[in-house]
Amino acid sequence: MYGRGRSGEASLKLDRKMKLALLFLSALLAVEAGPAQKRESRSGKLLVCYYGSWAVYRPGDGKFDVEQIDPTLCTHLVFGFAGLSYENKIHALDPWNELVDEWGSGKDAYRRFNALKTVNPGMKTILAIGGWNEGSTKYSQMAADPAKRATFVTSCVDFLQKYGFDGLDMDWEYPANRGGTPADKVSTLRPPPDANFVQLLRELKAAFRPHGLLLTAAVSAGKSTIDTAYDVPAMAESLDIISVMVYDMHGAWEPFTHHNAPLYAHPLDQSGDNRYFNANYSMRYWLSLGAPREKLVMGMPTYGRGFSLDRPEENGFYAPASQAGMAGPYTREAGILGFNEICEIQKQYGDFQRHWNHDVKVPYCTFNSRQWFGYDDIESISLKAQLIVDLNLAGGMVWSVETDDFRGKCGLGNNPILNAIKRVLDGGHVEATTADSSVTSTTGTSTTSTSAPSPSTTSSGQGECSHAGFGLRITASGHKLPPNVDAESLSPESQIKTLKRFRVRSSKSRKEL
């Protein structure tokens, strides 16, 4: 148990001290941000922003604590993550950072996080429970047992009210998957009552309603997981917001390059699940299953995923890549770079090139000979925000605030990704990057690259929203390739391998979407 025993008198004294400290923090935040006011999207669109609390342990300029969150940009701030205890209760996963005991030990991040509402009283704060590392098994076991569900629901109400959160985000990854059971989605009884996940959501909502607490969920973007995990109309009845995690669609678990979060399909995404791994398909699929537009938000990443190329001369989409890309100085995980890290890498490597794929509507960068990272910048994130507007969705979601360029090292101001999303959701224009004179065609008609243009060189203008041509062309070696594949950069053997790779999904392990 977190904390030690102490007399009631001492506890009361400490409680007074903590209240004074929180009042001081609130006043400080209010002074820095100006007069407190309710800030909402002019269009009524939501912007749900996740905060990965472990960023407080990152080194150097990557360290990100609660006070570095700009509470004026988001309508909802989500603290990630709480966990599920063996007693079937919600609990803090990092008590030292998130709580403070009666001896005064701990950083009290929960209360400091919720104090941000003094700057923007219209913003809601939500506590997320789950996440990838929590798995699915114990959530499935809890949801299957009425007594365990009751314990969990009661603990959530108490926990949220104790620390000042406005709601709970269920980030169970995923019902009926990764150790879950089919009963998470579909009842095995006749006549069928609610499946376990739906029943859990209904009981949470019933308990939350008298207290005005919100209930949201982060859900998969992958068709195969959606089909096995969710009864969409039934779960939508209990949820206030449904956040679709449209990222982690491709990564180093595959033997070829592809983007972390494609907006549209690549011409070679012709078979298997690859054709479903893009934001346009995922959001339309959720809508087709009965997700209400007024509750559905589209997730967007502030980080990229990358690869080490097998051969540096083959550097487009679906280029052979058998290893993960480099680790960043702050996130420190192979194959992951935050946008803030990409800003620094652009200045560090003289061979850094930013490429744009006109089919997928996303950038990728190459540098240090063999490094390939697909990421989002102002141009691509603006086009994604425009899709949200075009589909009339409730809004957008961002994972996560601490890997945006929060220190402004790209020369675009602080938090350029978040600001770009907010600008488009508020009815602004789509930013389009202006290429400089070093632009060259590297993959037929569909990809352009620039040799490290100034990151602040942008111009206004409507981005391209239509797909480029999908016609195949004949290479000198007699193989058919889509127009955005650079045949000249692929050997005849690689051209054959390229086509084969896209007809059969890689058998390598990957995160299920």
Active site residue ranges: 173
Encoded tokens for 479: 């193989």
Residue 278 contacts residue 265 (beta carbons within 8 Å): yes
| R_g of the chain, CA atoms, integer Å | 24
As a whole number of angstroms, the distance between CA 48 and CA 385 comes to 13
Contacts of 176 by beta carbon, 8 Å cutoff, 6+ apart: 140, 182, 183, 184, 185, 186, 197, 228, 229
Ramachandran angles phi, psi of 293, nearest 5°: -55, -35
DSSP state of 61: G
Residue 76 contacts residue 400 (beta carbons within 8 Å): no
Question: Strands (DSSP E) along 85-176, which ranges?
Answer: 90-92, 124-130, 167-171
As a whole number of angstroms, the distance between CA 456 and CA 254 comes to 33
As a whole number of angstroms, the distance between CA 352 and CA 364 comes to 11
Of 134, 289, 169, the closest CA to residue 227 belongs to 289
Of 365, 245, 222, 381, the closest CA to residue 306 belongs to 365
Residue 298 contacts residue 396 (beta carbons within 8 Å): yes
Residue 237 contacts residue 465 (beta carbons within 8 Å): no
As a whole number of angstroms, the distance between CA 93 and CA 79 comes to 12
As a whole number of angstroms, the distance between CA 287 and CA 281 comes to 10
Of 227, 219, 174, the closest CA to residue 196 belongs to 174
Angle between helices 279-288 and 378-390 (to 10 degrees): 20
Of 31, 33, 29, 49, the closest CA to residue 41 belongs to 49
Give the three-state DSSP class for 151. Answer: helix
Encoded tokens for 469: 């041509």
Residue 406 contacts residue 429 (beta carbons within 8 Å): no
